[in-house]
Structure 1
């Protein structure tokens, strides 16, 4: 492994899984979503063209699975042009160093995420006190220290374009993390939302395991700015997406997406924001 590339000392395999693990869904001809344990990665690009990118990098220890899913879709020896991150939490960068070393490709993220990806700063500690179950209680076990991608990570272009993804633009959707981004394509209104909102109640272990659907706010135990998170959901709802791939849960489209997002925007304080927790601002209620 390249000397300058390193995970935090707390990096480890997390034994969490769901019935969706290992399952891939072709959402659109050029948008493929694959579940690694409890989190989604996306391959964006037409299999015929060989020009594609990987959005997010799965759970710790999942590089072999990601490489084999990629080669299955795009052919033996194929590699993405880049890895583009919605944000830098451990379950979205879990295999990134192995992938960067294997493919020798750049990584792009919002400039506000760079401190967490270049060994400068840890994310705030997860909050195990947020109500809603076992996953929140397990969250202190989750890796939280910064990783170091060194010069391999670059900031997304300030003009909103997405490298190697013509037609998509990145949208700053902070709240879950300071530099969280989502990706939107105007011509078919396809949205890759990351954890700005998700399609499973992530703090419920039962719902994570069964992948029971339901549009929800970002995972509670890692979200530190709920006002920003609410504003981000409003921003995405205003785009009227036709289909959305979220960081957790199944892809969602049509009326289910439209009504679910509208309800989340209107009732965010009730649906998404925990009743208590160390990151809850008293002014929210």
Structure 2
């Protein structure tokens, strides 16, 4: 099975980082957020069984750090599965190494599977989009699809998530066609992926310092702004009490509530860039 897996030919270490890199935040007893360079992954623990899953799989070349982090928190226990919010390079950067090490399944939305089985490349990052230095350097980001072969499976169509009994997945496209966010109704916990962020991911200063500010999905890789807005509206309607996003610090309480209201109300001004190859007037309605 393993020999069927490969990263794209453009797979490589990306030299960007932030002050949060290497930091773990226990958001809740059942939810740990850990930052690898500029992206977050989550360890979600079942408090009754102590089983856990990994949500997203970090930056390229980060497998050793991810494995040592899980060992720090869970000892010899290994995750039951990896759940992907989507397949961009900074969310699947270590996934093949992790699957080989742990021999566990990966789950993703049906529409994301072609990008995870070598069949389809995501559109090229938009280096011309309105934004700062990270957007300008996005041409170096790996873009070719990885191939997980038969190690990746579709998330169940009924919204349940294997090994995450209290969570449901919600289709939140825009950033990618099969992007999902994960929501636990009983305490209104949201793992948003890149549906929205709590840092302006295009601006290097903000990324380096992790300056907290609600924003839309990373601009240089978002291709459908109409769907992206609808996804944020869908998530805001859930009234999450705490949110972990793919980029930036976790947000909770009144700050999260007000920030999401503001993002929905002013999505065009806050999230949608003024120019860029994936921006057009139809998306601004």
Give your verdict on TM over 0.5: yes
Displacement after TM superposition at 1:132 (Å): 1.3
Q: Cα deviation per residue 1:132-155 (whole Å; 9 max; x = unaligned)?
A: 110000001000000000000000
Secondary structure at 2:2 match in 1:
coil
Q: TM-score, normalised by structure 1?
A: 0.98
Measure, in 2, the Cα distance between the counterparts of 1:49 and 1:213: 34
1:7 aligns with 2:7: yes
Aligned to 2:82: 83
Task: Say whether the 8 Å CA contact 1:48–1:74 is kept in structure 2.
Answer: no
Displacement after TM superposition at 1:281 (Å): 1.7
Aligned to 2:151: 152
Displacement after TM superposition at 1:46 (Å): 4.1
Measure, in 2, the Cα distance between the counterparts of 1:37 and 1:92: 12
Runs of 4+ in 1 over 2 A off after TM superposition: 46-50
Aligned to 1:41: 41
Measure, in 2, the Cα distance between the counterparts of 1:92 and 1:102: 18
Please report the RMSD computed on the Cα atoms of aligned residues, expressed in angstroms.
1.1
Displacement after TM superposition at 1:172 (Å): 0.1
Measure, in 2, the Cα distance between the counterparts of 1:133 and 1:154: 36
Aligned to 2:56: 56
Measure, in 2, the Cα distance between the counterparts of 1:64 and 1:80: 15
Measure, in 2, the Cα distance between the counterparts of 1:272 and 1:50: 38
How many residue pairs match? The answer is 284
In structure 2, the gaps of 5 or more residues are: none
Measure, in 2, the Cα distance between the counterparts of 1:12 and 1:155: 27
Task: Say whether the 8 Å CA contact 1:29–1:46 is kept in structure 2.
Answer: no
In structure 1, the gaps of 5 or more residues are: none
Q: TM-score, normalised by structure 2?
A: 0.98
Measure, in 2, the Cα distance between the counterparts of 1:177 and 1:238: 21
Please show how residues 164-243 of structure 1 align to structure 2 within 5 Å: 164-243=163-242
Displacement after TM superposition at 1:282 (Å): 1.9
Task: Say whether the 8 Å CA contact 2:53–2:81 is kept in structure 1.
Answer: yes
